Structure 1
Amino acid sequence: MKNLVRLALMLVMFSYQNLTAQEKTTLIVEFENIENVSGTLYIGVFEKENFLKKPIFSKSIDVKNSSHKIEFKDLDHGVYAVSVFQDLNGNGTMDAQSNGMPTEPWAMSGTPNPMAAPIWEEVSFQFDDKNKAVKLKI
């Protein structure tokens, strides 16, 4: 009986440690020197499984200044990528040429090749700080 009680206590302690270890924090996405102060910024935070298909978090803001700061709260530690485009004509989508090249301003975390489709390994980052900030230039 004592062993059963000890086992139950150990399981409770292990579960508590796992719950407290999965700390949620805030990701800050900063934009500075926005060239065209108009339109809407659409920002998405992606995981690898749904990269550029379905963000796990997303926000949109009207561009009213040349700099903006957006916070994504309660984000688990992990590996993510941030993608943003500036919708200048108000149609809610990122316009592109017939060859797929964007015609509206865009940016991503990391170091994407501006002349090719984004690759996860080039744009993803490890999020493990209390307040991680990603600076993007549109």
Structure 2
Amino acid sequence: MKFLASFLILTMLTITNSITAQNQNTATKTITVTVVNATSDTGKIGFALYTKDNFMRKPIQGKEGKIKNGKSTVVFENVPSGEYAITCYHDKNNNDRMDFSKNRMPLEDYGASNNVMAFAPPTFENAKFLLKDKNLELDIKF
């Protein structure tokens, strides 16, 4: 009888630990992103969260942030652990898109996670970061 009771208690503890571990693995995090050097407070900053599979297409989450004193912050919530990249742009004229000149040069400031700037669009490889077991805070510079 003692053996059976001990066995049942051990089984229940094992199942409880397994469920707790699964919940920790599927727990979501937040990513707080701040643009730190907008050239003006006019307009808004558009932010997009991507994985490698959808980079520069439809984002997993898109956010808009107001600008105050050259800074804009948004929070991406309920993000599972994984590899991501973030891009953003300063929508100075509030037309909800990035504007380009006739020769396809950007007319509005833009940036990406990791702050790798080149005379080319951001790449996932340059902008990627890993979201693991805790919330993350990132600063992006234009």
Q: TM-score range by the shorter chain?
A: 0.7 to 0.9
Q: Deviations over 1:51-70 (max 9, x none)?
A: 01011111112323322322
**Is 1:136 matched up with 2:136?**
no
Find out whether 1:55 has 2:59 as its counterpart: yes
Q: For residue 86 of structure 2, what is the aligned residue in structure 1?
A: 82
Q: What is the total number of aligned residue pairs between the two structures? A: 133
CA-atom RMSD, angstroms?
2.4
Give the aligned residue type for 1:35. T
Of 103, 107, 112, the match for 1:103:
107
Q: Structure 2: any 5+ residue segments left out of the alignment?
A: 1-11
Which range moves more in the overlay, 16-25 or 102-111? Answer: 16-25
Give structure 1 stretches of 5+ with no counterpart.
1-8
More helix by share: 2
- For residue 73 of structure 1, the aligned residue among 72, 77, 81 is 77
Structure 1 length-normalised TM: 0.81
Identity of aligned residues (%): 27
Cα gap change, 1:22 to 1:120, in 2 (>3 Å) = same
| In structure 2, distance between residues paired with 1:28 and 1:134 | 6
Q: TM-score, normalised by structure 2?
A: 0.79
In structure 2, the partner of 1:4 is: none
**1:13 Cα shift?**
6.5
Larger Rg: 2
Residue 118 of structure 1: aligned partner: 122
1:40 aligns with 2:44: yes
Does residue 30 (structure 1) correspond to residue 27 (structure 2)? The answer is no
Cα distance in 1 between the residues matched to 2:51 and 2:67: 26
Q: Which stretch of structure 1 is more off in the superposition, 46-55 or 18-27? A: 18-27
Equivalent of residue 97 in structure 2, options 87, 93, 97: 93
